[in-house]
């Protein structure tokens, strides 16, 4: 199953200057719980924004500049792709959940293949220069919503919304 996972603010912002514009520890834990043990698909900017190669997950990275990743080319957790069709074929051959984690271009390229969308909707607005892909509600339906209130560790109210592709 191909799942897309992201967090966004009320204006659908998902990034600012190559980073996430908020800090929400509960969402980071949710992301970890969802993706642990699975393949994550991402573009080069998303990969670069990670603090490191995330443990216990495979990273499939699409880039036009594979030479930038020579230092990690032998890392068994990272597979570099330079061709979108090749990446899509590799993803479709995986007999397990695969998580598309960004950025916007990758989300747009995989939206038609996605079976499920997992969106953390943060009840606030932030500076942003990258917006989430628009969800076509003629192709997806909400199957679950969980609301969370801010607390001492998480400064914002948020909800996690799961969408399923309509058949």
- State pLDDT tens for residues 22-76: 999 999 999 999 999 999 999 999 999 999 999 999 999 999 999 988 888 899 9
Distance CA 163, CA 165 (A): 7
pLDDT computed for residue 105 by the predictor = 95
How many structural domains compose the chain? 1
Q: Inform me whether the pLDDT recorded for 160 exceeds 90.
A: yes
Q: Domain holding 125: CATH number?
A: 3.40.430.10
Tokens of 150: 């801010």
Q: Which pLDDT does position 71 carry in this prediction?
A: 87
Mean pLDDT of the 94-112 span: 97
Residues 4-21: tens digit of each pLDDT:
999 999 999 999 999 999
Percent of the residues in the chain that have a pLDDT greater than 70, as a whole number: 100
Residues spanned by the domain of 65: 2-165
Q: Which residues of 131-167 are buried (b: 16+ CB within 10 A; e: fewer)?
A: ebbebeeeebeeeeeeebeeeeebebebebbbbebee
């Amino acid at each position: 199953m191909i799942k897309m996972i992201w967090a966004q603010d009320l204006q659908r912002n998902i990034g600012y200057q190559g980073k996430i514009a908020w800090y929400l520890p509960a969402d980071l834990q949710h992301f970890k719980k969802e993706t642990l043990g699975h393949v994550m698909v991402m573009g080069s900017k998303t990969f670069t924004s990670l603090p490191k190669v995330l443990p216990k997950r495979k990273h499939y990275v699409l880039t036009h500049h594979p030479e930038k990743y020579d230092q990690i080319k032998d890392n068994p957790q990272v597979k570099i792709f330079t061709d979108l069709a090749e990446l899509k074929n590799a993803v479709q051959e995986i007999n397990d959940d695969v998580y598309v984690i960004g950025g916007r271009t990758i989300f747009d390229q995989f939206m038609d293949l996605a079976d499920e969308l997992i969106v953390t909707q943060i009840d606030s607005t932030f500076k942003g220069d990258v917006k989430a892909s628009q969800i076509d509600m003629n192709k997806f339906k909400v199957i679950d919503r969980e609301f969370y209130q801010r607390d001492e560790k998480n400064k914002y109210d948020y909800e996690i919304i799961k969408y399923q592709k309509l058949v």
